[in-house]
Amino acid sequence: MPITNTASDTSSLVHAAIDVHEPGQTPGKVGALLTTIEFQLNPKEVTIAKSAKWESKNQKKAASAPPATYQGPDPQKMSVEMYFDETRQRDGSVVKNVEALFEACTPTSASKDGNKPSAPWVKFKWGVLTGFVGYIKSVSAKYTLFSPDGKPLRAVCTVALEELANEPKKQNPTSGGLQPRHAHTLREGDSLAAIAYREYGDPSHWRTLAEVNGIDDPLRLRPGHIVLIPTLEELSQTDGRETVRREVVRARLH
């Protein structure tokens, strides 16, 4: 017995799409929707990759590989192909679709007006894969069919997307004491970069953590040592960092 598509089968088909948004004001939260670039044909494959940074320090006398220190995760990456076909349209062309993807790699007008140029943030939507929030890192377009007058009628676009960080862990409000700011007791294998990513969502803050805690060599952390974790507001202010430094010194004296 032949298999045919029923009305319910057709209604269950979900087309993949990329929503293009203004950059958000907070990590992981997009701004206003600018446009939606729909897939004419759902992709055959979607490649998703995730990796982490590890750092090892060579030791001349070591008999085996040196221990590695976790530096935090790299952004998740996604790669997908988009197919465009306008052969059924009388004066069709796929250039508009391709240019929409290219445009998503350039700063939005609103971000330029606000003196913070940024390309749009995007959301990939397709079934259970919905929820990827990031930006388009690169677009490669290959035109595969042209009309007699040279209009591109078919194109295959390879789109590479990269994840944006989610909302970092919220800090306790400051009140001038050691405990409300949150303190971390170092364990074997800890690194300042990993702590910075866990607390702020950004491993690059390890330098400020080292500075305010008086840590001269971040690669030689002592288990049991207490690291004071400033708030994000204090990290961005010279006075805030100086206040934390004084508290670290006072805590060690006692």
Give 189-233 pLDDT, tens digit per residue: 888 888 887 777 788 888 888 888 888 888 888 888 888 888 777
pLDDT value, residue 60 = 65
| Distance between first and last Cα of the chain | 84
CA 228 to chain centre: 27
Range name among 128-132, 204-208, 240-244 with the lowest pLDDT average: 240-244
pTM above 0.95, yes or no: no
**34 pLDDT higher than 90:** yes
Instruction: Give the residue among 148, 172, 144, 169 at the shortest CA–CA distance from 158.
Output: 144
DSSP 254: -
Cα atoms found within 13 Å of the Cα of residue 168, Cβ hemisphere only: 16
**All domains of the chain, ordered by start, with CATH?**
14-163 (2.40.30), 178-253 (3.10.350.10)
Q: Output the pLDDT for position 181.
A: 52
Q: Is the dihedral of CA 166, 164, 26, 70 positive or negative?
A: positive
Between CA 227 and CA 229 the distance in angstroms is: 6
Of 11-25, 177-191, 202-216, 230-244, which gets the smallest average pLDDT? 177-191
Q: Is 222 exposed, middle or buried (0-12, 13-18, 19+ CB in 10 A)?
A: exposed
